[in-house]
Chain A
Amino acid sequence: MDDLYRDYILDHYKRPRNFGALEPHDLEAHEHNPLCGDELAVHIRVRDDRIEDLRFQGHGCAISQASASIASEELKGMKLQQVGALSADWMLELLGIPVSATRRKCALLNLKVVRGAVTGDAAWPS
């Protein structure tokens, strides 16, 4: 068993949850990972200050795609205020694999995009 490419990571990579476009949507954001040219876009539908539904699309490595897929399941139903406060550690713990410094941006690209869509602040999560 590989430390990084665990079964559930590969499962989310090959069969991403909540993948595609969401129409209509209230919020959206789109980002490139400048390191590798990977792309990720997110559509979010809001109801009563919560994420009612979301979809992501793009292309990237197993780490970035699995991060987006795993996070999508947690983000549904979350209060917008809570989403804005999510940290890098939240995402890394959710992933549950040892991410090296060079792959950190792969793991955090999705959270950067989601937070950008919700708060307008597209900074890398710390």
Chain B
Amino acid sequence: MPQVAESALAVKSDFPIFARRFGGHELAYLDSAATSQKPAAVIEALAEHLRAHNANIHRGVYPLAQEADAAYDAARNRVAAFTGAEPNSTIFTKNVTEAINLVAYSWGRANVRRGDAVLITQMEHHANIVPWQILCREREAELRYLEVDERGELSLQALRAELARGDVAIVAFTHVSNVLGTINPVAEMVAEARAAGVVSLIDGAQAVPQMPVDVEAIGADFYAWTGHKALGPTGIGVLHGRRELLERMEPFLAGGDMISSVDFQSATWNELPAKFEAGTPPIAEAVGLAAAVEYLSGLGMERVRAHERELTAYMLERLSALSGVRPVGPPEAERRGGLVSFTVEGMHPHDVAELVSRRGVCIRAGHHCAQPLMRCLGVGATARASVGVYNERADIDALAAALAAGREVFGL
């Protein structure tokens, strides 16, 4: 049976939601790639901010407002430090989608010209496809895709060939695929882009929650990730940008706080990062996210990665052993993040997800906001199980048992 050593983390009790029961079953939460559960430390930090330190930030002179100001600034410093970034070039957005739209709008409209190309990959989430489609249509630019090979991986050689065509303005790709689990060689890809004088953007939504990420070391011009997948609250995303680029860019959203001064007909822009944070920002959410990265740092991201790699290896082993179940993506856990997409012969993924949910097992089914990739894989949908710091082997055992029971319902 299990070939893989039991992982080191045992932190389920830090997450209050696991006290719940569904139909008498414990919660086997295997949908962390969609959103993570929250530790008590994050819930408490959010509540404590709202309970004791809530006021709007900027320009409040009373002590409570100064506390809120200080909490927001401290949260930005803490979050930036987590990924090795500069606080002033760390912008809080609503989510990764908004972060990518910000770049496509503010950088793209000034720098992508007629006849240029935007290069993305076949394994992107819709958030890293549709903003570029809109930009390319508007600028009469071409949207090109790097292919995914049969192992579910990208080729550096193909990237070099695309960049050598000389018309690419920006290359945007995911760090970890939300469907295949593939970990892309992002530092090498960025180096190729840099050597070709091409700007790069990385979608780190699936990477930052589960492995050490140092955005300075990776060197991308833009790196986006989101709080709610990294044990933090919803409503807050992060965009790290290269300072020289951010300084030259026009704002994305306009309104309060992003201005230096406003006249009847015109306005001048605030300094970074405020220039890109129009309106009241997600203050309590920033405090919650800071608590989340504090919690993750306490575990140690190397340990988090080791834990999720071991669980992924165990999941691949258990799923592959089930008849009719076919995992997609790279076969080695070493080369993938903490998720496994799979199909079950004779069963639609929605029926798979519904049937395993009868035993408290939570997985996702569908196109995972990656319809072009689904077409490449030749499937309409997959089921996807993904792990977080709180998962244990017992959760994967529950999935395997529920899958076997589900196949029986279908007479398979």
Which interface class (under 10, 10 to 19, 20 to 34, 35 or more) fits B? 10 to 19
Collect the chain A residues with CB atoms within 8 Å of residue B351's CB.
Answer: 5, 61-63
What total count of A-B pairs have CB within 8 Å? 47
Instruction: Annotate A22-55 by CB proximity to B: 1 below 8 A, 0 otherwise.
Output: 0000000000000111110000000000000000
Closest to A2 in B: B409
B273 interfacial by beta-carbon distance below 8 Å: no
Report chain B residues within 8 Å CB of A63.
Answer: 350-351
Docked-complex contact B411 and A4, CB < 8 angstroms: no
Shortest Cβ distance from residue A58 to the other chain B in the assembled complex, whole angstroms: 9
Q: How large is the interface on A (under 10, 10 to 19, 20 to 34, 35 or more residues)?
A: 10 to 19
Contacts of B380 in A (CB 8 A): 36-39, 59-60
* Interface contact A103-B367, CB-CB below 8 Å: no
Contact with B along A1-18 (1 / 0, CB 8 A): 010110000100000000
A residues less than 8 Å from B331 (CB atoms) = none
Residues of A within 8 A of B367 (CB): 36-37
- CB-contacts of B253-278 with A (<8 A): none
Q: Which of B348, B354, B371 contacts A60 (CB 8 A)?
A: B348
From known contacts A5-B355, A59-B380, infer whether A36 and B409 are also in contact, taking CB-CB under 8 Å.
no
B283 lies within 8 A of chain A by Cβ:
no
Interface flag for A113 (CB, 8 Å): no
If A5-B409, A10-B410, A59-B380 touch, does A37 touch B374 (CB 8 Å cutoff)? yes
Chain B residues with CB under 8 A of A61? 348-351
Residues from chain B with a CB closer than 8 A to the CB of A36 are 349-350, 365-367, 380-381
Residues of B within 8 A of A (CB): 347-351, 354-355, 365-367, 371, 374, 380-381, 409-411
| Residues on A facing B (Cβ under 8 Å) | 2, 4-5, 10, 35-39, 59-63, 65, 103, 106
Jot down 11 A-B pairs with beta carbons below 8 A, ordered by A: A5-B351, A10-B409, A36-B350, A37-B367, A37-B371, A37-B374, A59-B348, A59-B380, A62-B347, A62-B351, A106-B350
